[in-house]
Copies of this chain bind each other. A is one copy, B any other.
Amino acid sequence: MSLLVTGSIGIDDVKTPYGEVKNVYGGSAVYFSFAAKLFAPVRFVGVVGEDFPAEFRAYLERAEIDLAGLEVRKGSKTFRWSGQYAGENADAETLDIDLNVLAEAGPKIPPQFANTECVFLAATHPALQEDLIAQLKSPKFIMADTRDLWINNEREGLMRTFKKVHGAIMNDFEARLLTGETNLVLAGKKILDLGPEMVVIKKGEHGAMLVTQKDVAALPAYPTTEVKDPTGAGDSFAGGMMGYLATQPDFGMKTLKQALARGMVTASFTIEDFSLRRIEKVTSQDVEGRLAQYKAILAID
């Protein structure tokens, strides 16, 4: 199936206990794309300002990401984020954020992408997510990410979005905030009541949980010891998962778990270096190799 991502694309400054980088490539849709392209071709929808560096575009083109949906908006500036992490498992602390073009109208899905079947909506304003969904002609599987900001401030809009998607993804803090439920299985069930057929709850270093009406799965993170920069872990996880799903004929529990495992492995590469420095070098063979290790770690028979 065809696969499309829409989300942020921008320039980051990042500081962690392991180092510091400035003016590096970032954004949720970019991390997603580099993970997903290990499994399936990626259609990219996003918006940048006229200051968008030519090298950044060339970089994405070399990665064979289809940029037909990348709008360069005249008179606008590209999204910038500056953040730091107190430790490898700490939440990002935003030091500075210039939403710039992300605070304006959202991107449009170009006609040649309108028939995409697998769609990932990275976390953004629910109204924008709804608008993007409306531009899709025949979606088979739409997954939406969200975050505390929208849960707190745009709950009604988020409820409308959730009625129109097949999957939801968020972290454990957000799932608890959204549902008021401490137990993550019960939180997942409550999210299903909002519309999605499946929900993935990300737990950082502890892995993720998958909840459907009939089943629950819990998978640990791949136990890497080389964490340099957690930025993009969640979007890489979603990218690995959705990239794999786009290659599959059905989305039964078995397939969903296989997809989660691939997301976990893909994300484990991303965090081993700053920005996209590690994930950009990863090959399908690398993924298969680490996946075999991951399965061996999990096997208890």
A residues at B contact (CB < 8 Å) = 87-89, 182-186, 203, 205-207, 209, 216-221, 223-225, 227, 257-258, 260-261, 295, 297-301
Quick check: B297 and A183 within 8 Å, CB to CB?
A: no
State the number of copies, please: 2
Question: Which residues of the partner chain B approach A185 to less than 8 Å between Cβ atoms?
Answer: 223-225
State in angstroms the CA–CA spacing of A299 and B221 once bound together.
Answer: 15
A262 nearest in chain B by CB position: B300
Q: Do residues B219 and A300 form an inter-chain contact, with CB atoms below 8 A?
A: yes
Pick the contact of A218 from B223, B225, B258 — CB < 8 Å?
A: B223
> Nearest Cβ distance between residue A20 and chain B, in whole angstroms?
18
In whole angstroms, how far apart are the Cα atoms of A261 and B216 in the complex?
Answer: 17
Contacts of A217 in B (CB 8 A): 297-298
Given contacts A185-B223, A219-B300, 17 further A-B contacts (CB under 8 A): A89-B182, A183-B225, A183-B227, A184-B205, A184-B223, A185-B224, A186-B225, A206-B207, A207-B218, A207-B220, A216-B223, A216-B297, A218-B220, A218-B298, A257-B300, A258-B301, A298-B298
